[in-house]
């Protein structure tokens, strides 16, 4: 049972991603804040537990990446529709990163080899995710508390980190592709 807990926590983020637009639509901001807080906390806890208990799996890594993207995109889309269009650049950034990851996932042959997670995360990606989720959490609070200047700074910082993440992922996968071509020639 213990080995399934990290994946259950990760799956919870996917469920919250589905609930976010519904909670926004019905103005259930307290439930939304609590759900997002738990979901964002689970993002830190699931990986830690998987490493600590030595139950890291390719499925868990893939589910984690998908859960993060779904939660981020769902929340950003809901922010744009229901609260503030200033989050549009962050939605575009997340979609671009998702497209980059999907492209390299497919082009790496991961589906053929059944190695479902050849992608590497970067430190920029991890920092970007933390900043993005802090921005989203404070964005929700800004609906009740006046902190617009802070939100603007966080949006800009998150977007810059998204650009760095996209650039880093492109470089990682480009270098991987060159190394794989060299190995084939040898």
Range(s) of the domain holding residue 89: 2-181
Decide if 172 is inside a domain. Answer: yes
Per-residue pLDDT reduced to its tens digit, 13-29: 999 999 999 999 999 98
Could you say which DSSP state residue 145 is in?
Answer: S
Decide if 49 is inside a domain. Answer: yes
Helix, strand counts (H, E) of the chain: 7, 0
Decide if 106 is inside a domain. Answer: yes
Decide if 99 is inside a domain. Answer: yes
Decide if 17 is inside a domain. Answer: yes
Decide if 186 is inside a domain. Answer: no
Residue 101: is its pLDDT beyond 80? yes
Decide if 73 is inside a domain. Answer: yes
Q: What is the pLDDT of residue 116?
A: 46
Decide if 138 is inside a domain. Answer: yes
Per-residue pLDDT reduced to its tens digit, 48-60: 888 899 888 877 8
C-alpha span between 102 and 98 (Å, rounded)? 6
**Residue 99's domain is classified under what CATH number?**
1.20.120.1760
Residue 71 in contact with residue 14, Cβ under 8 Å?
yes
Please tell me the pTM assigned to this model: 0.84
Per-residue pLDDT reduced to its tens digit, 3-16: 889 889 888 999 99
Domains contained in the chain, number: 1
Alpha carbon distances (Å) from 24 to 58, 76, 77, 125, 156: 33, 11, 10, 27, 24
Sign (positive/negative) of CA torsion 158, 163, 168, 169?
positive
Q: How confident is the model at residue 142 (pLDDT cuts 50, 70, 90)?
A: confident
Residue 3 in contact with residue 56, Cβ under 8 Å?
no
């Amino acid at each position: 049972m213990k080995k399934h807990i990290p994946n259950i926590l990760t799956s919870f983020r996917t469920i919250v991603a589905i609930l976010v637009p519904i909670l926004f639509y019905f103005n259930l901001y307290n439930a939304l804040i609590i759900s997002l807080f738990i979901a964002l906390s689970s993002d830190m806890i699931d990986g830690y537990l998987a490493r600590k208990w030595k139950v890291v799996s390719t499925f868990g890594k893939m589910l984690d990446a998908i859960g993060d993207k779904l939660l981020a995109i769902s929340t950003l889309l809901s922010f744009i529709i229901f609260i503030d269009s200033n989050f549009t650049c962050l939605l575009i950034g997340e979609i671009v990163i998702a497209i980059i990851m999907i492209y390299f996932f497919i082009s790496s042959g991961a589906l053929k080899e059944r190695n479902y997670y050849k992608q590497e995360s970067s430190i920029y990606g991890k920092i970007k995710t933390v900043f993005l989720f802090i921005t989203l959490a404070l964005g929700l609070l800004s609906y009740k508390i006046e902190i617009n200047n802070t939100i603007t700074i966080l949006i800009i910082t998150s977007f810059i980190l998204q650009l760095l993440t996209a650039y880093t992922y492109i470089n990682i996968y480009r270098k991987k592709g060159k190394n794989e071509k060299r190995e084939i020639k040898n």
